[in-house]
Structure 1
C-alpha cells in the first residue's frame, strides 16, 4: 500500500472514525476542525490535529494543504462552510477533493463548483443495510459507487461442493469472486467464544471448492449482483 497524505476537514462522528481508520492503515492524516476540544480528543489518532477555520485560505496554506494527495470535506451540518471550504481548497491547488453532501440539492451545488467526488455516508450505510435485510445469505454490502458494489454472501446451496469454475459466476452473472472467507475452529482456545473464526483464502482459483458455510466476497454491478441473489 502506498502511503498517502490526506487532510480531513470536519471531525464529527463520521470524520472521527474516518481519520482513525486512515491513520491505522498507515496514511499521513491531517485532521482539521474549528473546535479545539474535538481536535484535542483526536490528536493521538492522527499525524497532525489542528484547530482552524477551514474557510480561511491562508490558514489552510499554513498547514501545507496544497501538498496533500486528497482533501476530504466531511462537514455534516454546515453546508455554507463546505462550499467556501471547497472553493478555498481549489484556490490552494488541491487536485483531489472529496466532499460530503446530505441532500440532492447540495450534491448539485457541489457539482456546479466542479467537485466531482461526492459521498453521502448515511445513504450508503442505509442502502447497504437494506440490501442485507432484502436477500437471504447476504452478510454485508459495500457500495463502491451508485453502480458497483462488493458484497459478502454465504454460499447458496446450489453451489455447495462445486468449484468456482463449475459455478461460473463470471459468465452467468458477470460478477467476480474476489476471495472466500472460510470458518475455522481453533481447538487450542480455552474459551468457546474464541474458538471460532474465519480464514481468508486469498485469490481463489477455478478449482477452489465451495464449501457449506463459506462466505464468498463478490464484485459486480448492482443489477448483476441483484440478479444473482434473486436467482
Structure 2
C-alpha cells in the first residue's frame, strides 16, 4: 500500500472514525477542526491535529494543505463552511477534494463548484443495511458507487456442493466471486468463543466446491446482485 498524505476537515462522529482508520492503515493524516477540545481528543490518533478555521485560506496553507494527496471535507452541520472551505482548497491548488453532503441540493451546489467526488456516509450505511434486511443470506454490503457493490452472502441452497464453474455466476448473473470465507474450528483454543473463526480461501478456482456454511464475497452491479439473491 502506498502511504498517502490526507487532510480531513471536520472531526465529528464520522470524522473521528475516519481519521483513525486512515492512521491505522499507515497514512499521514492531518485532522482539522475549529474546536480545540475535539482536536485534543484526537491528537494521539493522527499525524497532525490542528484547530483552525477551515474557511481561512492562509491558515490552511500554513498546514501544508497544498501538498496533500487528498482533502476530505467531512463537515456535517455547517454547509456554508463546507462551501467556503471547498473554494479555499481549490484556490490552494488541491487536486483531489472529497466533500460530504446531506441533501440533494447540497450535492448539486458542490457539483456546481467543481467538486466531483461527493459522499454521504449516512445514505450508504442506510442502503447497505436495507439490503441486508431485504435479502435472505445477506451478511454485509459495501457500496463502491451508486451502481456497484461488494457483498457477502451465504451460499444459496441451489449452489451448495457445486463448483464455482458449475454455478457459473459470471455468465448467468454477470457477477464475480472475489473470495470465500469458510468457517473453521481451532481445537486447541482455550475458550469456546475463540474456537470458531473464518478462513479466507484467497482467489478461488473454478473447481472450488461451495459448501453449506461458506460465505461468498461477490462483486457486481447492484441490479445483477439483486437478481442473483432473488433466485
Q: TM-score, normalised by structure 1?
A: 0.99
Shift of 1:191: 1.1
Question: CA-atom RMSD, angstroms?
Answer: 0.6
Using the alignment, how far apart are the partners of 2:207 and 2:2 within structure 1? 32
- Which 5+ residue runs of structure 1 have no aligned equivalent? none
Shift of 1:186: 0.8
Instruction: Please state whether the residue corresponding to 1:129 is helix, strand or coil.
Output: helix
Alignment match, 2:169: 169
Shift of 1:212: 1.0
Using the alignment, how far apart are the partners of 2:180 and 2:28 within structure 1? 31
Alignment match, 2:114: 114
Q: Number of matched residues?
A: 231
Instruction: Establish whether residue 159 from structure 1 lines up as the match of residue 171 from structure 2.
Output: no
Using the alignment, how far apart are the partners of 1:60 and 1:200 within structure 2? 43
Using the alignment, how far apart are the partners of 1:163 and 1:24 within structure 2? 37
- Which 5+ residue runs of structure 2 have no aligned equivalent? none
Q: After the TM superposition, which parts of structure 1 deviate over 4 Å for at least 4 consecutive aligned residues?
A: none
Instruction: Please state whether the residue corresponding to 1:7 is helix, strand or coil.
Output: strand
Using the alignment, how far apart are the partners of 1:150 and 1:205 within structure 2? 19
Instruction: Establish whether residue 191 from structure 1 lines up as the match of residue 191 from structure 2.
Output: yes
Alignment match, 1:103: 103
Using the alignment, how far apart are the partners of 1:209 and 1:145 within structure 2? 30
Using the alignment, how far apart are the partners of 2:212 and 2:154 within structure 1? 8
Using the alignment, how far apart are the partners of 1:107 and 1:150 within structure 2? 24
Instruction: Establish whether residue 127 from structure 1 lines up as the match of residue 130 from structure 2.
Output: no
